[in-house]
Amino acid sequence: MKKIKVDLNDRSYDIISGSGIIKEIKQYVENLKFSKIVIITDTNVAKLYGLRLLKLLKPYKAFIVNIPPGEDFKKLYTVSAVYDQMATLKLHRDTLLIAFGGGVVGDLAGFAAATYMRGIYFIQIPTTLLAQVDASIGGKTGVDHASCKNLIGAFYQPKFVLIDTDFLKTLPMREIKTGLAEVVKYGIIKDPELFELLEANPKTTPDFWIEIVRRCAAIKAEVVSKDEKESHLRMILNFGHTFGHAIESLTNYSTYTHGEAIAIGMFAASNLAFKLEMLKEKDLIRIVSLISRLGLPTKCDLKASDIIKTLYMDKKAKSGKARFVLPVKIGKVVVVDNVSDKKLKEAFSSLPVC
């Protein structure tokens, strides 16, 4: 078991990670003040682990509220349905909410916690690789809007994050790959040794996953501690996401998983950096090679012009200009917001991306 601290003064919290540590959940929640527990999860996770979590939380009065799985349901109407069930259960402000699932569950449940009765305690128990290395940490909560991913949301920090890597044993391979896209991101933005570890094609043993989660969580905790609300440093965590979110939006969140869209986005951002003479060709080749070898896509069937139009709806846009996180080498990125449409089209035109 390892602990990493997210340092936010009176809202600081621990990221607790390890193998099989879900069985220790009761000792971590007992220090929180609450009268009831509501577990927000999706139907897939509920079938696999819902009853087990309820048993581990005895003798607390705990309830499960299920939502449908998938990004299609990360909408305000789903949050409204969650509110309805919580109100029916007569849950008050002294309720502890547990977000138990992947990134969609964590984002939506966190937003419900931030807004139900103006805010209740919540904790994150992520069950997917993507959520364990990224989405469950940092307090970003929210839902999608028809015009933009994550347009509606709030910064709302959990009381702690409990990461049990044993949940990965039941994760489909496609979901493992989508999580690895975020791991690649961390290697490119801040941890060249992590990138090299992935390049070495190691065996995916339990110790491997523990190490991967620890390294990614440590980076995100450091960044969030310095810049909680994404005013400067935290923007580096969006590497690949400006393009990736546009691709997700244009395909109605149905063609690619989040990680697959981000993989295409990282490929496009890296090529743009190369075209702007910011990134050396050898590093571009390493990035492209690793993304491809991990079984992640590097192309999509969208027009470059459509993607460029969608970029300007991105939350990170500033003064009508899209902002890009671009690599200058493996382990370092910079934020750029003065890229012309011409340069964007040039970057796309030489890629098998669009």
- Say which of 33, 118, 203, 342 is annotated catalytic: 118
267 in a known ligand binding site: no
> Is the torsion defined by CA of 216, 104, 24, 92 positive or negative?
positive
127 in a known ligand binding site: yes
Residue of 233, 162, 126, 121 whose CA lies nearest to 4: 162
Contact 275, 281 (CB under 8 A): no
CA separation for the pair 188, 184 (Å, rounded): 6
CA separation for the pair 121, 207 (Å, rounded): 31
Residue 232 designated active-site: no
Residue 245 designated active-site: yes
106 in a known ligand binding site: yes
Residue 118 designated active-site: yes
Residue 230 designated active-site: yes
241 in a known ligand binding site: yes
Find the distance separating the first CA and the last CA of the chain, reported in whole Å.
44
55 in a known ligand binding site: no
Contact 29, 111 (CB under 8 A): no
- Say which of 190, 215, 220, 275 is annotated catalytic: 220
Residue 258 designated active-site: yes
> Is the torsion defined by CA of 276, 278, 282, 287 positive or negative?
negative
105 in a known ligand binding site: yes
For residue 12 the two structure tokens come to 């600081």
- Say which of 245, 248, 260, 275 is annotated catalytic: 245
128 in a known ligand binding site: yes
- Say which of 74, 234, 275, 323 is annotated catalytic: 234
Residue 234 designated active-site: yes
Residue 52 designated active-site: no
203 in a known ligand binding site: no
CA separation for the pair 332, 183 (Å, rounded): 15
258 in a known ligand binding site: yes
Q: What does DSSP say about strands 13-18 and 2-6: parallel, antiparallel, or unpaired?
A: antiparallel
24 in a known ligand binding site: no
103 in a known ligand binding site: yes
3-state secondary structure of 82: helix
Render the burial of 122-139: b for 16+ CB within 10 Å, e for the rest. bbbbbbbbbbbbbbbbbb
- Say which of 182, 228, 248, 260 is annotated catalytic: 182
104 in a known ligand binding site: yes
- Say which of 238, 260, 275, 323 is annotated catalytic: 238
Residue 174 designated active-site: no
Contact 141, 76 (CB under 8 A): no
- Say which of 74, 140, 190, 275 is annotated catalytic: 140
For residue 30 the two structure tokens come to 């007992």
151 in a known ligand binding site: no
- Say which of 71, 230, 248, 260 is annotated catalytic: 230
- Say which of 185, 258, 275, 323 is annotated catalytic: 258
290 in a known ligand binding site: no
The residues assigned a catalytic role are 118, 140, 182, 220, 230, 234, 238, 241, 245, 258
User: Which residues belong to the annotated binding site?
Assistant: 103-107, 127-128, 140, 149, 167-170, 182, 241, 258
User: Which residues belong to the annotated binding site for Zn(2+)?
Assistant: 182, 241, 258
User: Which residues belong to the annotated binding site for NAD(+)?
Assistant: 103-107, 127-128, 140, 149, 167-170
